[in-house]
Structure 1
Amino acid sequence: MEQRITIHIVGGNSRSRAEQSRLILSMGHHAEVYSDLVELIDRPPRSGVIIASEELLENGVDALLDELANAGIWTPLVAAKADPGVEEVVAAIQAGALDYLQLPLTTTELRRMIAHVDSDAGRHAEARRRLIDARSRIETLSRREREVLDWLSEGCSNKAIARNLEISPRTVEIHRANMMDKLGANHPADAVRLRIEASFRDAAPAADGDADGAKVAGGAG
């Protein structure tokens, strides 16, 4: 027997959202409707699954998941669109979507998705929660602390990291200690695990990175 779940509907026009809601309710599940992403973020869901469609998918599922992550929302995401292409579906799943539905929704399609939610949503939500937590911790690191973490993840010793970054081993120790403290890591393996869970891409160093790195390096000599 299917477990009753809450499905959060966002994106598309009011008629589409109403049709999805009626179908969900007719199948014995609960529907929450949001006019746009701003309203969803203002009332962040903590359980169930999100069905996102139309304008929310214009920049890609990966961009939408990043917005949700930045808002601390790890509820599993299902993309929905009329006649999605195979490449779109593959890209969405690879980006982290739980499923991809074709609009307008049918009983068969919704039942398939709910079965997927029953089997995988808990694990998927936990993975998303860990990713968001890891990213939020890593974003607190300065540029130099991130570099130390990157080299540490490659299995480098403090001396090897010092050579690669052209700084002293003592400076590496200071950056490493600061990095471990910010991440709440008790062991280097914990720090490396967080980096892997975050799938971190160093696209934008922290604002205080250069100054922070210069200050610590200067103090360590």
Structure 2
Amino acid sequence: MKKVKAHVLDSSAARRGQMARALTDLGAHAEIYENIDELVARPLTSGFLIANHDTIDASVGETDIGKLIGLIGLPVSIYAHEPFLPRVVRAMLEGAFDYTSWPISEDKLADLMCNAEQFQRTKVKEMKDRLEAIDLIASLSSREREVLGLAIGGHSNKSSARVLDLSPRTVEIHRANAFKKINARSVAEAIRIGIQAGLG
């Protein structure tokens, strides 16, 4: 079985060492970094990042977790001595998959390892679904995309007809053609595909 790779970002050598030992004891391969410059100096291809919030703030500015996630492309879990609710909320909204307090128990670290793998699988599936949806939507004519976009916005055929200055029957035909091209069996499925592709 392949070892989970855990990237640890913390400006404290003592915490980095503790974290590396605990992760190794759990069977993970731990890579440690003192700052974000070290972290992004080489491409990270697998695993997850567990990072001290203050270390991130010192490098990229107050609670810019989203920027960090964009830089490394891996699931990110954050920890702090005293998690402050507004910081936790902002970190989670920016894409962190977990936020915990320091010190981190061995059980919590084991949970983080499992959750990171599940989070990564979910993100990969979401990306695959999004790319498939984009391909499907690309097969539509510009008018079919407009009609589907209006449906996503909550417009009925009559309302869409008024917006597009078409007859309701023409809108129905465009909608039916769009559904057929994207293999949608229902309005809900067509809307889901459109939303995944970024329409609306």
**TM range, normalised to the smaller chain?**
0.5 to 0.7
Identity across the alignment (%): 26
Deviation of residue 78 (structure 1)?
A: 0.6
Q: Which has the larger radius of gyration?
A: 2
Counterpart Cα distance in 2 of 1:50 and 1:20: 12
Deviation of residue 62 (structure 1)?
A: 4.2
Choose the corresponding residue for 1:13, options 11, 22, 45. 11
SS in structure 2 of the partner of residue 44 of structure 1: coil
SS in structure 2 of the partner of residue 79 of structure 1: strand
Deviation of residue 116 (structure 1)?
A: 4.6
State whether residues 7 and 51 of structure 1, in contact with CA within 8 Å, keep that contact through their aligned partners in structure 2: yes
Map 1:162-177 to 2 at 5 A.
Answer: 162-164=161-163, 166=164, 168=166, 173=174
SS in structure 2 of the partner of residue 83 of structure 1: coil
CA distance 1:22–1:131, shift in 2 (3 Å): same
**Counterpart of 1:99?**
98
**Counterpart of 1:52?**
51
Deviation of residue 155 (structure 1)?
A: 5.0
Counterpart Cα distance in 2 of 1:82 and 1:157: 52
Counterpart Cα distance in 2 of 1:64 and 1:43: 13
Choose the corresponding residue for 1:61, options 48, 62, 65. 65
Counterpart Cα distance in 2 of 1:155 and 1:201: 13
CA distance 1:153–1:195, shift in 2 (3 Å): same
Residue correspondences, number: 182
**Counterpart of 2:121?**
126
SS in structure 2 of the partner of residue 28 of structure 1: coil
State whether residues 6 and 49 of structure 2, in contact with CA within 8 Å, keep that contact through their aligned partners in structure 1: yes
SS in structure 1 of the partner of residue 32 of structure 2: strand
TM-score (structure 2 length as normaliser): 0.59
Map 1:1-221 to 2 at 5 A.
Answer: 5-10=4-9, 12-13=10-11, 15=13, 16-34=15-33, 35-36=35-36, 39-40=39-40, 42-46=42-46, 48-53=47-52, 54-55=55-56, 58-65=62-69, 67=70, 73=73, 75-103=74-102, 105-106=103-104, 108=105, 110-118=106-114, 120-133=115-128, 148-154=147-153, 156-157=155-156, 160-164=159-163, 166=164, 168=166, 173=174, 185-187=182-184, 189-194=188-193, 196=195
After superposition, the CA RMSD in angstroms is 4.6
Deviation of residue 31 (structure 1)?
A: 0.8
State whether residues 57 and 64 of structure 1, in contact with CA within 8 Å, keep that contact through their aligned partners in structure 2: no
Unmatched 5+ residue regions in structure 1? 203-221
CA distance 1:123–1:80, shift in 2 (3 Å): same
SS in structure 2 of the partner of residue 13 of structure 1: coil
